[in-house]
Amino acid sequence: MAKDRVLCNLRWRLRSLAGRPSQLFLLFGMGALLGYAFASGNATCGLSAMTLALVGSMAGPFTGGNEAEWARHLEKLLKSERDRLIGILDSLDEGIVIVGPDRVIRFMNPSMIREFGDGTGSRCHKHLHDLEEPCRGFCKLPDVIAGASERWERRFPDGTTYEIVSSPFADSDQTPCMLAAFRNVTREKLIEIELMELNQIKSALLLEKTTELEQISKDVAKLREEKRRIIRFLSAITHDLRAPLSATQSCLWAIMDGYAGPVNDEQKDLLQRSTRRIDGLLTLISDLLDIPRMEAGQLVQEMKDLSFNEVVDRSVDSVERLAREKNLALDVDLPKGSPQVCGSSRRLQQVLTNLLSNAINYTEQGGISVRVLAAGNEIRVEVSDSGVGVPPQELPKLFQDFFRGSNAKSDGTGLGLSLSRRIVEAHGGKVWAESPCPETGRGSKFVFTLPKKTDTGTAADLRVPSDAARTNQG
Amino acid sequence: MKKPARILLIDDDVDFVKATTKVLESKPYEVIVAFDGKEGLEKARSEKPDLVLLDILMPKVDGFAVADQLKKDESLSKIPVVALTSFSDSYGQPFAFEVSDFIQKPVSPKDLLAKVEKHLERLG
């Protein structure tokens, strides 16, 4: 009697479980096996070894005990298992759906209902895919029921995308069904698509830039060739312009200095005037031809370690004749151990020669002095004269391109000082002009600095007149 | 009496050569003249001068090539070579060949003689 009651109770339980297909896999398997075992009236026969072990261990304390208690215990056990499985299904992020062979939805878990709305009892193709008829293209049902597992992706027109895994599943009534898990991968897909688009854009940009770069390098090569041609042309022009002047100058100097016979003072004066004009013309040609290099920022190219005193000596040599001809004193004051600089000897000579010849040009009486001070990390060069001077308001403008001061003489381009400034700056130095006597406005002082090479001698501040110091007092 | 020093002047500018010769001949120097690089090399080989004054920009064989040849010839490689340069000659690139010294054209007689003397003295 009691056994019958228990069996009846269990059958009812199992039926109620079967009526709610939310109890899955293990529970169904176990329930079905237990159902079968009880129905056959033999608690030990027909149970699989695993189930036997499970049930045996749980039922251990009741063996030979009260059958009703045992049944209650089993019921409790089933209930707790059932609750756990329901809990798992409820909290699963994936949507779970079970579809019968008639394409009718038998079960949906809460996630699935959230995504698609409750469609239990509706046709699968209508409810899930919004199709009037099952579509052969993606309906996996026949294959899955036949035992195949499918993994596929379903993208809806609004972009929502699911990854679907469909597996065969025997429902509690043993009906072969399809169990499908839906995972919403819309976000991942969007990111994937965005990444793909970004990659496409990247490739397109890369191609564009590569083409641009190729074009640029072609243009650069063309410009370089152009520049080489211009430089060759300018070189040729400079040579052709300077060569006749140079030869003329050499001839005039030879006459003037008496190498072709005695020269009287009057002749000498006229020859001096000629050679001075030729000098000016030679400088002008050089300055003009420096403009393209200046614009290209290539005034100073070859830099090497130099003994600065030598640079000063050579510059002084080149203007000595000019000073002598005007009876101007030319004092040179160099530090004992020559400071070392890293630079272009030719360009630094150009700066000094420019400052010196300006000083001589604008001075009629008195003299010019060059003073080189090496202190700290710096070489400071001062070129002072007792000439007409520069109005104070013009001092800062002197180094601008083509600037001509109010006291400037008629010849000259206004390029010499701006070239000098660029050369000094390219060496990391500064150049400026001062008015040494603002009250009278007479005289001027041009100063430039250069960074000193650090590994030079220490006698820098010991000031003695060098071998090169000279005075040409008329 | 000491044998006069022999100077080979290689320059294509006749007027410059004329003036320079005048200046050099004021001293006890014998001046040998060549008007292009080829002639200059020939005269260097036949005359074995004490000093070469060498113009850079010349037609046919230029000063760079002459200096190069002189350095390669063992019998001539010891002769000091002073390059005569125009300011524009190094337009574009620095000098990439070996010479003893440079004189920038135009050069005053005084500076020319000083340079020449300096290099001849060095020979002893």
CA-closest candidate to residue A6, choices A49, A50, A37: A37
| Phi and psi torsions of A325, nearest 5° | -65, -30
Q: Which 8-state DSSP code applies to residue A338?
A: P
B90 Cβ under 8 Å from any chain A Cβ: yes
User: What long-range pairs does A228-231 form, CB within 8 A, spacing at least 24?
Assistant: A228/B92, A230/A292, A231/A292, A231/B91, A231/B92
Task: Say if the Cβ atoms of A254 and B94 lie within 8 Å.
Answer: no
Task: Say if the Cβ atoms of A254 and B13 lie within 8 Å.
Answer: no
Q: Which 8-state DSSP code applies to residue A242?
A: H
Question: Which pLDDT value is given to residue B16?
Answer: 94
Contacts of B115 in chain A (CB under 8 A): none
List the structure tokens of A85. 């499985």
Q: Which 8-state DSSP code applies to residue A335?
A: B
CA-closest candidate to residue A304, choices A453, A419, A158, A442: A453
Task: Say if the Cβ atoms of A251 and B18 lie within 8 Å.
Answer: yes
Nearest CA in chain A to B18: A251
Question: Which pLDDT value is given to residue A23?
Answer: 41
Residue found by looking up tokens 């008639």 in the block: A102
H or E stretch at A105: strand A105-108
Task: Say if the Cβ atoms of B111 and A317 lie within 8 Å.
Answer: yes
H or E stretch at A130: none
B111 Cβ under 8 Å from any chain A Cβ: yes
Tell me the three state secondary structure of residue A70. Answer: helix
Contacts of B104 in chain A (CB under 8 A): 318
**Which residue among A228, A242, A321 sits closest to B87, beta carbon to beta carbon?**
A242
Continuous H helices in A342-466: 345-361, 416-426
B55 Cβ under 8 Å from any chain A Cβ: no
Contact between B70 and B53 (Cβ < 8 Å): no
Question: Which pLDDT value is given to residue A254?
Answer: 95
Cβ neighbours of A44 (radius 10 Å)? 9
Between the two ends of chain A, the Cα-to-Cα distance in Å is 152
Cβ neighbours of A282 (radius 10 Å)? 19
Q: Which 8-state DSSP code applies to residue A177?
A: E
Highest mean pLDDT among A142-146, A207-211, B59-63, B89-93: A207-211
Question: Which pLDDT value is given to residue A64?
Answer: 55
Min Cα distance B61 → chain A (Å) is 16
B74 Cβ under 8 Å from any chain A Cβ: no
List the structure tokens of A117. 């709305």
A346 Cβ under 8 Å from any chain B Cβ: yes
Task: Say if the Cβ atoms of B105 and A245 lie within 8 Å.
Answer: no
Query: 0.80 exceeded by the pTM?
Result: no
Query: Which residues 372-401 on chain A approach chain B with CB closer than 8 angstroms?
Result: none
**Length of chain A, please?**
474
Q: Residue A409 and residue B53: Cα distance in Å, rounded?
A: 37
pLDDT by residue for chain A (474 residues), tens only, comes to: 444 554 445 455 544 444 444 444 444 444 444 444 344 434 333 334 444 445 545 544 545 568 889 999 999 999 999 999 889 988 888 999 999 999 999 999 999 999 899 989 998 888 888 888 887 666 788 888 888 898 988 888 888 899 999 999 998 888 899 999 999 999 998 898 899 999 999 999 999 999 999 999 999 999 988 877 887 787 778 778 888 999 999 999 999 999 999 999 999 999 988 998 898 888 888 877 777 777 767 777 778 888 899 889 888 988 888 898 889 999 999 998 889 999 888 889 889 999 999 999 889 989 999 999 988 889 999 999 999 888 888 888 888 887 888 777 756 667 889 889 989 998 999 999 998 887 887 899 999 999 988 654 433 333 333 333 333 333
In sequence order, which residues have a C-beta less than 8 Å from that of residue A53 and are 6 or more positions away? none
**Length of chain B, please?**
124
Contact between A108 and A120 (Cβ < 8 Å): yes
Amino acid at A85: L
Nearest CA in chain B to A256: B109
Contact between A350 and A424 (Cβ < 8 Å): no
Q: Which 8-state DSSP code applies to residue B4?
A: P
**Which residue among B19, B88, B107 sits closest to A239, beta carbon to beta carbon?**
B88
- Has the ipTM of the complex gone over 0.85? yes
Question: Which pLDDT value is given to residue A1?
Answer: 47
Task: Say if the Cβ atoms of B108 and A321 lie within 8 Å.
Answer: yes
Please report the beta strands in chain B, taking only residues with DSSP state E, as ranges in sequence order: 5-10, 29-34, 51-55, 81-85, 101-104
Angle, helices B63-72 vs B37-47, to 10°: value is 30
Q: Residue A418 and residue A399: Cα distance in Å, rounded?
A: 5
Contacts of A318 in chain B (CB under 8 A): 104
Task: Say if the Cβ atoms of A259 and B23 lie within 8 Å.
Answer: yes
**Which residue among B13, B26, B108 sits closest to A253, beta carbon to beta carbon?**
B108
**Which residue among B26, B86, B89 sits closest to A259, beta carbon to beta carbon?**
B26
H or E stretch at A257: none
For chain A, what is the radius of gyration of the CA atoms? 53
Q: Residue A255 and residue B22: Cα distance in Å, rounded?
A: 9
Question: Which pLDDT value is given to residue B31?
Answer: 97
Tell me which of A301 and B107 has the higher pLDDT: B107
Q: Residue A106 and residue A335: Cα distance in Å, rounded?
A: 106
In sequence order, which residues have a C-beta less than 8 Å from that of residue A36 and are 6 or more positions away? A46
Min Cα distance A262 → chain B (Å) is 13
Nearest CA in chain B to A230: B92
CA-closest candidate to residue A384, choices A313, A450, A436, A309: A436
Give the number of C-alpha atoms closer than 13 A to the C-alpha of residue B26, restricted to the C-beta side.
Answer: 19
Question: All domains of chain B, ordered by start, with CATH?
Answer: 5-123 (3.40.50.2300)
List the structure tokens of A388. 């007409």
**Which residue among A239, A302, A321 sits closest to B86, beta carbon to beta carbon?**
A239
Contact between A201 and A175 (Cβ < 8 Å): no
Tell me the three state secondary structure of residue A193. Answer: helix
Nearest CA in chain B to A345: B94
Question: Which pLDDT value is given to residue A360?
Answer: 92
CA dihedral B34, B35, B39, B42 (to 10 degrees): 20
Q: Residue A179 and residue A168: Cα distance in Å, rounded?
A: 6
H or E stretch at A181: strand A176-184
Contact between B70 and B98 (Cβ < 8 Å): no
